[in-house]
Amino acid sequence: MAQSLKENTRLVPVRAVSGVAKAVLVWFLFAVVYGADQWVKHIVESTMLPGESITVIDGLLWWRFYLNSGAAFSMGENSTWIFTVISTVGAIVTSVLIVRSRALVWTILLAILAGGIVGNLHDRLFREPGFGRGHVVDYISVPNFAIFNIADAAICMSMACIVLLTFLGYRLDGQREISATTVQGKKEEA
């Protein structure tokens, strides 16, 4: 079965990136996500009290200062150190994948993912109540949803796109797996 699946697929190149251009792109995207996240968290901490809420768009969007000791949706609030370990492993794995990536789209998404992971990891390492147990600053609140931050949004959006890329057959090495029947159908259309 596996052999027949491989025989029915073909690799085609996708837009690639490497060398200095890749390094500049990765550092730029990482810095934008990480920097924006930390900058807004600093503003929230400097201008609001924990629990305070400011209406941005009535009934739709609020700034709500919340210190989250858990993960998404405040799960695991008494296990902050576990999320610190998971975030550290996630940052390392993402860094390795960035180095291995040759496809432009993978490089972009992994850099954004790394910025988000490190944004929240920074909070866990350096915020109160102490190293490795710090609370993540959350501040974006919308109706019927969790309170989150820029890092959370970057993680969720990039992961959703990575899952989609995987299902569409885009690989880290700059190739795309497509079925032989799709290739044949496109040749017949032309």
Q: Is 76 left (phi over 0), alpha (psi -120 to 50) or beta?
A: left
pLDDT, averaged across the chain:
87
> Considering the chain, what percentage of its residues have pLDDT values greater than 90?
64
* SS3 of residue 89 by DSSP: helix
H helix or E strand, kind and range, residue 11: strand 9-13
Q: Tell me what pLDDT residue 9 has.
A: 67
Distance between CA atoms of 2 and 9, rounded to whole angstroms? Answer: 11
Which sequence positions are flagged as catalytic? 138, 152
Amino acid making up residue 17: V
Write the pLDDT tens digit of every residue in 42-77.
999 999 999 999 999 999 999 999 998 876 655 666
> Considering the chain, what percentage of its residues have pLDDT values greater than 70?
84
Q: Which residues contact 44 (CB under 8 A, 6 or more apart)?
A: 63, 65, 137, 139
Q: Which residues contact 98 (CB under 8 A, 6 or more apart)?
A: 26, 107, 110, 111, 114
Judge contact between 121 and 33, C-beta under 8 A: no
Q: What is the pTM of this model?
A: 0.85
Question: Within 10 A of 52 (CB to CB), how many other CB atoms are there?
Answer: 14
- Domain boundaries, given as residue ranges, for the chain: 15-175
Could you tell me the pLDDT band of residue 87, with boundaries at 50, 70 and 90? Answer: very high
